[in-house]
Structure 1
């Protein structure tokens, strides 16, 4: 049974995100994510004006009469939300945890999809697949996805992006839109090839969540830092300028590695911090992609 706090949080997310979708994102979503193209519907007798290239020669030879293949535009898409639930996603130092941010982003993208009559599914992963919900349509289904993201307790703390993408590629037989939501703290080399492989088969967008304290630590004296995925605790002297400089250098190197992996795989990515309103970076992504499609 859901707690009152969780129900209130889900309701708040629904109200906020549905308004955003109605006011801002539904039309842009429709413009930048196209359907699968032309889908075969039926074979019918030839009519004057039909193009020769549409003739079904096998049926024509079998029946002795000319038949053509009829195609219709297929608009319906499948959107798969692949969300990292490893322990580092439960970190947040300013306004919200990355996990809460992921839930709200999931709601926005899901409501945008359902507004366009698309199906939405969810795969939650750590270093294993924790939960898979097949793609479906409708408001109730979207609210279930949000509820699972907020309430779900993963069995593991680690993260394995490559494994998650391989699983999605096995599940999805037709080209789909995949939003990969993670903080991407793993070594980029461990998932770079999987990004490229998935992006060739589907339309993959990486949503990179981060917290400001992960990139900047001030002089607060001795500080115990725990790795959320391994549980290891390290004491550091934040008063040391040399340590703070080395820390910034490591963070910048890790950031550059992620961006390089996205670029090499030709994967679009959206950068969102827990301290900011996600509307601006999400809107910028939609607008930038729309401009590219027009040129």
Structure 2
């Protein structure tokens, strides 16, 4: 991994390839992502969720929402909520007092999007990289519309773009632009490099979102280990964490009668899935990764949104959030 790439903090600077496809299922661009803004209006990342939303499930903690700022300490009035009585001050003064809080005007949100080569795969509708970019854009537009600060981290194999959550459309536009640029870098003939690790990205997330943020991570979580788990657990303790687990039907259920050619850009090997041992090993690898992510949901109490590259991004985001019906 190049040190220069790791130091990029304001945006992805490499020139976009002229070979970018016009097919939005393979690559997305700024114009396509902008069109999603009108489709994001019915999605909500506020604490009050529909009963069937994955953000309100039995195995996921409720979104805590914006925090509270202490405003003042004053005498108790008959119309006040008794739960806000400050019993220590009341005991000391002999007069009932309550603590008054006001809700924060907004809550910072950090949206993390994986655009590494492991995401450049799709067998039915979209590339996983496109699904991740579209779902991240939908989330960014909706959260901005809710009045919250929006920022993000977009990372590929060699580059990271960091956009700190700020008020105003400039940060939102910068995030969408970083998404489009990172997606355009993906190519089947890209040189084989050591990709930026998820652990390195999560360390950057912890730095930008130390506490009381909404953190959304869209990735296939291609390589995770004990350090990944520790970092995820820490983020979940200090923030509202939501994982968007992006997968493809082919990778989740390998066919048992195919000869698959796999390449790293320089070398290639043919895998015969008709061989029972080979097929079982591939299945165990894919299912083990998915099981590990879902186990995090149970153990650490945050929601996981299972996103498929085989389904329209707008439709599945609405379905996962308990919104009946199709597009309007």
Same fold (TM over 0.5): yes
- Per-residue deviation at 1:210? 1.3
Identify which of structures 1 and 2 has the higher relative contact order when contacts are C-alpha pairs closer than 8 Å and 6+ apart.
2
> Residue 85 of structure 2 contacts residue 99 of structure 2 at CA under 8 Å; is this kept in 1?
no
The Cα of 1:134 is off from its aligned counterpart by 1.1
Match of 1:111, SS? helix
What is the rounded CA distance, in whole Å, between the counterparts of 1:159 and 1:69 in structure 2? 47
* Corresponding residue for residue 122 of structure 2: 92
Deviations 1:215-265, CA, capped at 9 Å, x for gaps: 3235333x321358xx66332223434432432233222322232233323
In structure 2, which of residues 144, 162, 180 is the aligned counterpart of residue 132 of structure 1? 162
Any idea what SS the aligned residue of 1:287 has?
Answer: coil
User: Residue 257 of structure 2: which of 210, 214, 219 is its match?
Assistant: 219
Residues 136 and 144 from structure 1, CA distance in 2 versus in 1: closer, same or farther, beyond 3 angstroms? same
CA distance in 1, matches of 2:129, 2:106: 29
Pairing of 1:22-61 with structure 2 (within 5 A): 22=41, 24-26=42-44, 29=46, 31-32=48-49, 33-41=63-71, 49=77, 53=86
Provide the rounded CA distance (Å) in 2 between the counterparts of 1:162 and 1:205.
17
User: Do the aligned partners of residues 174 and 195 (structure 1) sit closer, same or farther apart at CA in structure 2, a change above 3 Å counting?
Assistant: closer
Q: Does 1:250 align with 2:267?
A: no
Q: Give the Cα separation in 2 of the matches to 1:12 and 1:30.
A: 29
Q: Deviations over 1:72-125 (max 9, x none)?
A: 221411110112232212222332222222221121101111111001111123
Query: Does the aligned pair in 2 maintain the 1:111–1:139 contact within 8 Å?
Result: no
State the TM-score, normalized to the length of structure 1: 0.75
| More displaced stretch, 271-280 vs 178-187 | 271-280
Q: Which of residues 229, 247, 271 is equivalent to 1:236?
A: 271
The Cα shift of 1:30 comes to 6.0
CA distance in 2, matches of 1:40, 1:204: 25
CA contact (8 A) 2:135 2:317 kept: no
112-121 vs 171-180, which deviates more? 171-180
Q: Where does residue 205 of structure 1 map in the other structure?
A: 242
SS in 1 for 2:48: helix
CA RMSD of aligned residues (A): 3.7
**Which protein has the bigger strand share?**
1
Aligned to 1:293: none
**Aligned-partner Cα distance in 2 for 1:267–1:226:** 35
State the distance in 2 between where 1:118 and 1:204 align: 16
Structure 1 contact 193–265 (Cα < 8 Å) conserved:
no
Distance in 2, matches of 1:179 and 1:163, equals 16
Q: Does 1:121 align with 2:151?
A: yes
Please list, as runs of the form range in 1=range in 2, the aligned pairs for 1:1-295 lying within 5 A after superposition.
9-15=29-35, 17-22=36-41, 24-26=42-44, 29=46, 31-32=48-49, 33-41=63-71, 49=77, 53=86, 71-125=101-155, 130-152=160-182, 153=185, 157-215=194-252, 216-221=254-259, 223-227=260-264, 233-287=268-322
**Shift in Å, 1:56:** 9.2
In structure 2, how many angstroms separate the alpha carbons of the residues matched to 1:213 and 1:139?
38
Q: Which runs of 5+ in 1 are unaligned?
A: 58-66, 289-295
Structure 1 CA distance for aligned equivalents of residues 285 and 75 of structure 2: 68
State the distance in 1 between where 2:238 and 2:208 align.
12
Alignment TM-score, normalising by the size of structure 2: 0.69
